[in-house]
Amino acid sequence: MFGLGTIINTAGIIIGGFSGILFGKLLKDRHQEALKMTCGISVIFIGIAGAMEGMLTINRGVISSGQAMLVTLCLAIGTLIGEIVDIEHSFEKFGEWLKHKTGNSQDNKFVNAFVTSSLTVCIGAMAVVGAIQDGIAGNWSILATKAILDFIIIMVMTSSLGKGCIFSALPVLVFEGLVTILASLLKPIMTDLAMSYLSLIGSILIFCIGMNLVWGKKIKVANMLPSIVLAVIAAFI
C-alpha cells in the first residue's frame, strides 16, 4: 500500500501522545522534568550519532573527519534564509491557531510542546529516508521502526510538555506524505550522495533540538530548516 509507512508513523505518534497524557497524570512535576531532560539527552545522542556517521570515515584503522565546509556553509546560509523568512514564527503562529481551534487556549505550554515535538519527529534521516524508500520501493520498514521510536519519544514529551505534542502527528502526516509522493516522482534525482548530505545536516538539527529540550529553547531550529534543502542541492554541484 502506497504511503503505508506514513500512516503507521502518524498512528504511533497519536497513540504515544494519548499514552503520555494518561502516564503524565501519575507523575509529579519533578518526575516530568526528569523525563524531559532524559528525552533531550537521548535526542542529543541520536543527533551526534547521525552527524558522526556522515562526517567520520575509517580507512585502514585511521579515523578521519570531513564535510566541515559543507556543514558550515549549509548551516550558515540556510539559517540566514530561515531567519529572513522567519519559519519559527510561522510554526508558532500555526501552533497558536491550533491551540485555539482545539479548545486549549488556557494551555500555556501548548505552542512550545507542539513546535518542539513537531521538529523532533519531522527532522532527521529516518523521516526523509523512510519516506523516500516508501515512495520509491514501497518499503515502509524504516518508517515502521521510526513509529516505535516516535511512540516512546512523544509519550515521554507529552507527559512532560503537555498535549500539544499529540498534534505533531499533523506535520508528520503532511511532511512524510509529501516526501513519499515527491520521491515517487523524482526517483532519478535523489542520489546516494544527496541522501548522505541530507542525513548529515538533518542529524545536526536533531542535536540542536535535544539541546533545546535540555537547556530550554535557545536555538530557533525551525529557522535552520533551509539548511537541509541546501545540503541536497550541494550534492549536485
- Reported pTM: 0.78
Q: Is the pLDDT at 222 greater than 80, yes or no? A: yes
What grid cell was written down for 216? 530550554
Task: Measure Cα distances from 203 to 120, 139, 218 in Å.
Answer: 11, 22, 18
Q: Which residue has the higher pLDDT, 59 or 81?
A: 81
pLDDT > 80? residue 104: no
In the predicted structure, residue 84 carries a pLDDT above the cut 80: yes
Question: What was the pLDDT predicted at 234?
Answer: 94
Instruction: Give residue 216's pLDDT.
Output: 78
Residue owning grid cell 494519548: 18
Distance in angstroms (rounded) separating the CA atoms of residues 3 and 1: 6
pLDDT given at position 94: 82
Q: Sorting pLDDT into bands at 50, 70 and 90, what band is 73?
A: very high
How do residues 118-134 score in pLDDT, each as one tens digit? Answer: 888 887 667 877 888 88
How does residue 7 score in pLDDT terms, banded at 50, 70 and 90?
very high
What is the per-residue pLDDT across 141-190, written as a single tens digit (0 to 9) for each? 889 988 988 898 898 888 888 888 999 999 999 999 998 998 888 777 77
Q: Is the pLDDT of residue 36 over 70?
A: yes
Q: Which of 31-35, 49-53, 66-70 has the lowest mean pLDDT?
A: 31-35
Would you give the distance in Å from CA 193 to the centre of its chain? 21
Tell me if 205 sits within 8 A of 87, measured CB to CB: no
